[in-house]
Each structure stands twice: as structure tokens, then as C-alpha cells.
Amino acid sequence: MGSVIEVLILGFLISSLYALIALGFTMIFGVAGVLNLAHGAFAMVGAYLALGALEWGWSLPAAALFAVVGMAFLAPLVYVLLIRPVEDRPIIVFLGTLLFAVVLEQIVGLFFGFNSRIVPPLVEGILTVGEVRIPVNRLAASAIALSIIGGLWLFVNRTRVGKAILALSMERRGAALVGIPTQRIILGVWAISGALAAIAGLFVGSFFGISPLEERLLLTIAFTIVILGGLGSIPGSLGAALIIGFSETVVQQFAPEARGLASLLLLMLVLTFRPQGLLGRAAA
């Protein structure tokens, strides 16, 4: 019984983190139409910005804030300098963001080395529920992730700017025609996406540790979840994050040797039989 409760709790905690990783990725695709293969690298760079700030002697909250604000600046910058000039050529954008991600790996590795580093936990302590011991840090991370996702949902659905973002995701030219400043909104979405990536990177760094090459794993997770849920669909991504998070936890608990294989096979099945994802638009 204990293991079932453990699976439920750990699966939920990891799912909320996965959802956070995927959210920024799917937002960029939905609104700006760009599949940003540097998203995992953004998360990794975010974690390393915090590690760098810590090395300069900053306090942990200040370092975390620095990472989030830093990525909120860097992500739109990358868009303007690298992606916007070739935006109308999907293959170039696709390969360009991939190559940019591997360049970022090397740059970070140059300064920090390629070994895994651990971001100190934001909250110390361990909570015991029955027989299950949960680090408070993970609970806090899950709570923060969920409140960010909830806040973002309210922002998109309830505010004027949010509605402009939605309009843009439906039809860019139409949004421009009714007077929505599309470029400014797109830059804002890139900033949000960068900040979300940095937060996700911080949590991943404090749970499992992070290394420059780890970004590929983060990207694969985001990519998998987003495709499984349907490109550009935020509810789909949340559902897919739960599916991936729970299936990995279950496999980890009961058949650890097949770890990582289960979710990949699941994804291959979905891609084969429902190429548009679980909640994706049919015309994908």
C-alpha cells in the first residue's frame, strides 16, 4: 500500500515539474509558431545563471531571481537575433535552434565544466506522510509550478493582454488587423517562455542536479509531452505531463530496468496511431 501512495505522490510531484518544462515550449509554438529546440538549453542556462550568481556570493533567492529575469531577457534576444530573420523557413529555424542549443551546451561547459552540479534546495526539510518521506523542496516546487500554471491560465483567459495572446495564436494576420501589436506580444511570450524554462531548470537542478548536456533530456521531455498532448494545446500538455510523469514513476517503482523505455514506446504508439497528439488540432 505504501508504494502505491508513494507512486501517487511522487508521480504527481514530477508531473507538475514536467508540465512546467513543457508549458513554455508549447506556448512559443502556439503563439509564435516556432518550435524552439533550444528550450531545454534555456532551462539549463537558467540553472547555471543561478549557480554563477551563487558563486559570486549572492543569496539563493537573489540568484534564483537573477536566473529567471536573466532568461526572460535572453530568450527574446535569441528570438530577435537568430530566429526572426529566418522565421519563414521552418527547416532553418528547426536546425538553427538545435545547433544553437548545442552551442549553448559548449559555452556553459566552457565556464562551468561538464560535470553535474546541484542547485541548493530552496526549502530544506523532509515531510513524512505515513511511510512516505517527501523532501519539502519537492512539495514547494510542485506548489510553485502549479500556481504558475494556474496564474498563467488566468492571465491568458482573463486579461486583455492574455486575450491578445490567444487571438495571436489563432490567426496572426487577423490579430494584427484588429490592432494587436503582434511583435510586442511575441517578444513578451518569448520572455515568459524563457522565465518558465529558467524556473524549471532551477527545480530540475535542485532535484537531480544539472549538467550542460542534460538539456537534451529536458528538451526530449518537453518535446514528448507537447507532441503527446498536441502541439500548441496547453490543456493537452498538462494531461500529457501527468501521463508521462505517472508512467515513469510507475515503471521506476515496479520495473526500474525498463525506465525511460516505457514513455518512449508510448510516444511511438501515439505518433503512429494518432499523429496529431491526444488533444491536438486535427490539421497538424
Partner 1 sequence: MRVRRLSLRPRLGSALLLLFFALLAAMPYLLPRLFPEMETNPLLLRRWLDILVMANLLAVLAMSWDLLGGYTGQISFGHSFFFGLGAFTAAILSLTVDWSPWTVIGVGALAAAVGGVLIAAPALRLHGPYLSLMTLVAALAFDRFIRWLKPADRFDLGIPGAEGAILCSLKCFLTFDAVAKYYYALALLVGSFLVLWAIARSRIGLALEAIRDDEEAAQAAGINTAKFKTLAFSVSGFFAGLSGAFYVYHIGSASPSYVLNLERSVEAIATAVLGGMGTIVGPIFGAYFFKLFEELFRPLEALRYGVLFALALAVLLLVQGGLLSRALQRLRGRDLVAVPPSAPPPSPPPSEGLPQGTETQTGTEAVRR
- Could you list the residues that contact partner 1 (CB under 8 A)? 35, 82, 85-86, 89-92, 94-96, 98-100, 102-103, 106-107, 109-110, 114, 216, 220, 223-224, 227, 231, 257-258, 260-261, 264-265, 267-268, 271-272, 275, 284
Nearby residues of 12 by Cβ (< 8 Å), 6 or more positions away: 142, 242, 245, 246
Q: Which residue, among 55, 203, 51, has the nearest Cα to 141 in the 3D structure?
A: 203
Closer residue to partner 1, CB minimum distance, 4 or 99: 99
Long-range contacts of 75-84 (CB under 8 A, 24+ apart): 75/42, 75/190, 75/191, 75/193, 75/194, 75/195, 75/197, 76/187, 76/188, 76/190, 76/191, 76/194, 78/38, 78/190, 79/32, 79/34, 79/186, 79/187, 79/190, 80/187, 83/34, 83/36
Report the nearest approach of partner 1 to the CB of residue 278 (Å). 13
Q: How many residues does the chain have?
A: 284
State which residue, 38 or 149, has the beta carbon closest to partner 1: 38
C-alpha cell at 14: 514530477
CB of residue 253 vs partner 1: minimum separation in angstroms? 17
Alpha carbon of residue 129 to chain centroid? 29
Minimum distance of partner 1 from residue 169's CB (angstroms): 16
Nearer to partner 1, 102 or 176 (CB): 102
To partner 1, the closest distance from the beta carbon of 67 in angstroms equals 22
Which C-beta is closer to partner 1: that of 24 or that of 121?
Answer: 24
Return the number of the residue (40 or 121) whose C-beta is nearest partner 1: 40
- Name beta bridge partners: 117: 210
C-beta of 143 vs 264, nearer to partner 1: 264
Among residues 143 and 268, whose Cβ is nearest to partner 1?
268
Characterize 48-86 residue by residue with b for buried, 16 or more Cβ atoms within 10 angstroms of its Cβ, and e for exposed: bbbbbbbeeeeebeebbebbbebbbebbbebbeeebbee
12, 18, 20, 21: CA torsion to nearest 10: 170
